């Protein structure tokens, strides 16, 4: 039973992450130049709030609802980071920054965070369906 769970959820989360990442990257590439860079401050603020909320939840609350807010909020947040990071990488490249390792690492971390959150969402939906 656990094998069927792994065989269906992991590929679904991976394909979903690829679809989200690919479509948002293309949207950022075809958008007007520097139109998504304003998101940087909001995204960093949101990330700080998610981290503080998660620590507060672990230490004091232990609420499942706050955990769900972290998972869904983090998914939305990292979708915004894909838009922001893609346009930031293009701007940095146009200004002469050719550090492709750092650029690819930024996008890889965005992809991993989206994949991880989709995996948690799909696993919790599967668990609810089984019960």
User: What tens digit of pLDDT does each residue of 6-62 get?
Assistant: 568 899 999 999 999 999 999 999 988 888 888 889 999 999 999 999 998 888 888
Residue with tokens 């146009």: 94
User: What tens digit of pLDDT does each residue of 51-93 get?
Assistant: 999 998 888 888 888 889 999 999 999 999 999 999 999 999 9
Count CA within 13 A, CB hemisphere, residue 66: 15
Q: Say yes or no to pLDDT of 2 above 70.
A: no
Q: Where are the domains of the chain?
A: 2-130
């Amino acid at each position: 039973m656990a094998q069927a769970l792994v065989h269906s959820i992991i590929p679904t989360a991976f394909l979903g992450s690829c679809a989200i990442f690919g479509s948002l990257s293309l949207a950022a590439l075809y958008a007007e130049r520097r139109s998504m860079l304003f998101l940087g401050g909001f995204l960093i603020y949101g990330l700080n709030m998610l981290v503080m909320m998660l620590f507060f939840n672990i230490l004091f609350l232990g609420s499942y609802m706050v955990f769900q807010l972290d998972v869904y909020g983090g998914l939305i947040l990292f979708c915004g980071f894909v838009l922001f990071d893609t346009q930031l990488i293009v701007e940095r490249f146009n200004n002469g920054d050719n550090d492709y390792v750092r650029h690819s690492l930024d996008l890889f971390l965005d992809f991993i965070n989206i994949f991880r959150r989709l995996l948690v969402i799909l696993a919790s939906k599967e668990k609810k369906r089984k019960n």
